[in-house]
Structures are given as C-alpha cells and as structure tokens.
Amino acid sequence: MRKQTMDRDWIATARTLSEALPYLQRYSGAVVVVKFGGNAMGDDEAMAEFARDVVLMRQVGVNPVVVHGGGPMINEMLTKLGIKSEFVRGKRVTDKATVEVVEMILSGLVNKRIVQAINDQGGRAVGISGKDDDLMVCEADDPELGFVGRPVEMNVQVIRDLYNAGIIPVIAPVATGMNDNETFNVNGDTAAGAIAGALKADRLLLLTDVAGVKNKAGEVLTQLTPEEVRALIADGTIAGGMIPKTETALKAVEEGVRAASIVDGRVPNASLLELFTDHGAGSQIRSTEPRVKPRIR
C-alpha cells in the first residue's frame, strides 16, 4: 500500500511538471520582479522555500529580481537601541537616527540573509541597494515623514547587467536623495513597483500575508482590470493596507509591466503557483483581460 501511495505521488509530480511546460515556455527569458516580505522573512523554513522557488525560476530561464522589506527587523533593532518611533497617518517618521538603522538592517542583515539563502539553494545571488549605481533616486514623499522617499529617477542597467550574467539581484529598498546625497527609506512595495516599471518587467509579484483582493462577500478576485480596481477603491471594498498595494500594482501596469499580482505568500511555493499554473495564488491585475468571466475563489 505504501509503495502504491509513493507511486501515485511520483506520477502526480511528473504530471504537474508536464502540465507546467506551456508556462515554462511562456516565461523563458522573462523578467519577474518579486517583492519578498511579511512573516516568511522571519522563518528559516519559509526563507529556504522562497529561495528554492527563486533558484528554480532562474534554472528554467526566468530572470527573477528580488526586492525585499524588513519592517519587523527594523522595529526590533530600534527597540534595542532605544529609538522611539513616531507615526503620522499610520506611517513612521524617519529621522536621521532612524534612517541609519533602516539602512543597516535592510542593506546588511536582511539583504545578506536572503542572498545567503539563495546561494545555499544552488543559485547565484548578489545583494545591492537602491543607492548602488544610483539605481533609485528619491525625493521626500512627505516632509512630515522625514527621510521616507518616493522614487523619481530609476537607473536599472546594473540590474540588467546582473541577470544577464546569470546572477539573481537582491535589492534593499534604500535610496539616494536628489540633494546632498541623503539616504531615504522606500516602502518595499513601492520600490518593487518602480523597479518593475523601469525594467518593463513581464510580471510583478507582491508577496504578502493576505489571500489577495476580496469583494464585499469576502471572496478573492483572481483577475482584475485597472478599471475594476479603481472602482473597488472608490466604493470602499479595497481599503486599509490593500490600497497602497493595489496602487503600486496599477502604477506598474501603467508603466509597461504586463501583469502585477498580489500573491498570498503564506501559500507554499506561491510564486511558482502564480507563474506556472492556471490556479494562481492571489489577485492578478493586468491591462488587457481575456474575454472570460474572472475566477473567484
């Protein structure tokens, strides 16, 4: 009985690989920007699984570009250092002392941990930040927030150089300022969207800790047009933290990204499900919809 079960498992695995072939062919050579964040960043097993997924993407011809956050790690270090955080309209005020901690944690601890995880799975990863080669130049998003940046100039050739050399770029969302070489902290989703738009990436995947965009009945909407997203924001169906994520996805699509997805990163192998299966693992926003009724799950 045990052998029969094992045989069925291997047959199912082979069938899955066979069914993935059209998607593997579709994404060969494609640039896919993946925003990695949420609870998975603090879990070694989840980190290793994410790293395997990214290495597999590279192995089958995809050019993955990883952009990461690190809010919980920043909070932990600020607490240890006795630096108190103030918030304006739910956003952290980032003064000189705070932005130094942000850069230390994002460009150092978090970035190198992700790089090491990818290298441990047989990939080749290099960690950089938005300051390297002036990749991301920012201005203050809101004077009340201090050193919180909004990208205004993107120089993504360094990213192309890396993935053209077979290397997976891992990018910390820390940026250079327009004046006096200030350092700015950039929201991870915002940075990923800006990078995807500048690269004209094929896909943007925003990994998060929610199932996706939901309708009023609480069902996940797996396919959406920009017009539908704007309508859901206007009537209050999309609210709270989902608003900036959907706005990032919309902006990326407007800048030439073929499709942007808000992906449930808690689902095992979420990135692979979204790219290489018909099921997906979240909500996809794209400018042109196939003429079928959007799936709801």
- Residue 147 tokens read as 């050193």
The CA-atom distances, in angstroms, between 119 and each of 51, 173, 180, 201, 286 are 8, 21, 36, 23, 32
181: amino acid identity, one letter: N
pLDDT band at 212 (very low <50, low <70, confident <90, very high): confident
> Does residue 289 have a pLDDT over 50?
no
Map tokens 């808000």 to a residue: 262
Digit-coded pLDDT (tens) for 92-140: 789 999 999 999 999 999 999 999 999 999 999 999 999 999 999 999 9
Contacts of 255 (CB under 8 A, 6+ apart): 196, 197, 198, 200
* Distance (Å, whole) CA 18 – CA 167: 27
Look up the CATH number of domain 207-297: 3.40.1160.10
Look up the CATH number of domain 38-201: 3.40.1160.10
* Distance (Å, whole) CA 203 – CA 284: 10
pLDDT band at 10 (very low <50, low <70, confident <90, very high): low
* Selected residue with higher pLDDT from 14 and 143: 143
Please tell me the pTM assigned to this model: 0.88
Average pLDDT over residues 33-58: 89
* Distance (Å, whole) CA 187 – CA 175: 11
Average pLDDT, the chain: 87
Coil, strand or helix at 151: strand
- pLDDT at position 7, please? 58
Q: How many angstroms from the chain centroid is the CA of residue 172?
A: 11
**Domain 38-201 shares a fold with domain 207-297:** yes
The CA-atom distances, in angstroms, between 149 and each of 114, 166, 179, 290 are 23, 30, 12, 36
Q: Where are the domains of the chain?
A: 38-201, 207-297
Q: What b/e string do you get for 37-75 counting C-beta neighbours within 10 Å, with b at 16 or more?
A: bbebbeeeebbebbbbbbbbbbeeebbbbbbbbbbebbe
Phi and psi, residue 95, nearest 5°: -90, -175
Say if residues 141 and 69 touch (Cβ distance below 8 Å). Answer: no
For 53, half-sphere exposure in the C-beta direction (CA atoms, 13 angstrom radius) is: 25
Closest CA to 55 of 278, 274, 272: 272
